[in-house]
Amino acid sequence: MTRYDRQIAVPGVGPKGQARLSAARVLVVGAGGLGSAVIPALAAAGVGYLTIVDTDTVALSNLHRQTLFREAEIGQPKAPLAASRAAEMNPDCRTLGLTLRLDPANAPALIAEADLVIDAADSFAVTYTLSDLCKASGKPLISASVLGRSGYAGAFCGGAPSVRSVFPDLPAQAASCATAGVLGPAVAALGAVQAQMALTLLIGLSPSPLGRLVTLDMERWHFGGFDFRNAEEVPGFGFLAAMQIEPGDLLIDLRPPGSVATLPGAVSLSPEALAQWPIPPGRVVLCCSSGLRAWRGASALAARGATRLALLADGQ
């Protein structure tokens, strides 16, 4: 009897499927609520290598859904704690916790070492950055988002359409768990869906979840979803890291003056001012904290004929 016997007994898994899990390398971006469901599930299943990336620390207001952590750990970085907890759950799982903010500069190297990427970060900029890079490299991306009592999980890239094919634009307003609230079981349920999608792909079970989105509405008690395998790719604005700004770029900071520290060399403008702002000949990089205001600004400039546009989510 081994710890994986009941898993190996599932039709289609067997010893070969378990061996695939043991050899698999998974990048998990985000060790919050979704990560608290995904990380233990993958570790317990015998995934061989987990790299966990998160820039945040444990906070009291998040513990109702971030069940990997304890009150005694408040203020400590989440990524190494999550990695340590996963290794304790299963010594077969080798883990690495990286306390860093994932961005377009450091993401390519991390993705290159992974067989599959899980987006559990709750960030517009991270989701679209991972999607663009996974699409270019052919790596599967399992992404999810939850607010209140509802959300979704989907399997993108890796031969399927990217996030942009399903979500070509950002919402009109940026809601977050801090502003809109969230119930822990809804997060855990969709984190479990992410883990199941990941295991299905790593083992090679059929049917594949690639090109499939699962929705959950715990207010109306409804599971749904749809197939997007034939969805068309939609061009959009790409994100940059601050270190990728080039000498000829014009950096526009769209945040209210004094709300955060303006980036060096940036011109401070309000989003409304872009309607009359003369478009320069070089590349324009629009900056805000989450990426939403920058996306809206880029959309306004594109409607006026601007073609060289990029976004920067500063995260302050």
**134 included as an active-site residue:** no
Residue 62: CB atoms within 10 Å: 21
| Of the candidates 183, 99, 191, 192, the residue with the CA atom closest to the CA atom of residue 147 | 183
Q: pLDDT 10s per residue in the chain (316 long)? A: 689 999 999 999 999 999 999 999 999 999 999 999 999 999 999 999 999 999 999 999 999 999 999 999 999 999 999 999 999 999 999 999 999 999 999 999 999 999 999 999 989 999 999 999 999 999 999 999 998 889 999 999 999 999 999 999 887 655 555 566 788 899 999 999 999 999 999 999 999 999 999 999 999 999 999 999 999 999 899 999 999 999 999 999 998 877 776 778 888 898 888 988 899 889 999 999 889 999 999 999 999 999 999 999 987 5
| Of the candidates 202, 193, 206, 200, the residue with the CA atom closest to the CA atom of residue 21 | 202
pTM for this model (two decimals): 0.94
Q: Distance (Å, rounded) from C-alpha 50 to C-alpha 25? A: 6
Which residues, in sequence order, are bridge partners of residue 94? Answer: 49
Cα–Cα distances in angstroms (integers) from residue 221 to residues 123, 147, 216, in the given order: 26, 15, 8
Identify whether the C-beta of residue 214 lies closer than 8 Å to the C-beta of residue 153: yes
DSSP calls for 83-104: HHHHHHH-TTSEEEEE-S---T
- Residues in the chain, total: 316
Identify whether the C-beta of residue 132 lies closer than 8 Å to the C-beta of residue 141: no
Q: Distance (Å, rounded) from C-alpha 176 to C-alpha 69? A: 21
Helix, strand, coil percentages for the chain (3-state, nearest 5): 35, 20, 40
The two three-digit tokens of residue 294, written as one number: 């920058």
Which one of 93, 134, 157, 177 is the catalytic residue?
177
Residue whose entry in the numeric block shows the structure tokens 């513990």: 63
Residue whose entry in the numeric block shows the structure tokens 């399927």: 160
The two three-digit tokens of residue 229, written as one number: 């395998």
| Of the candidates 84, 119, 87, the residue with the CA atom closest to the CA atom of residue 190 | 119
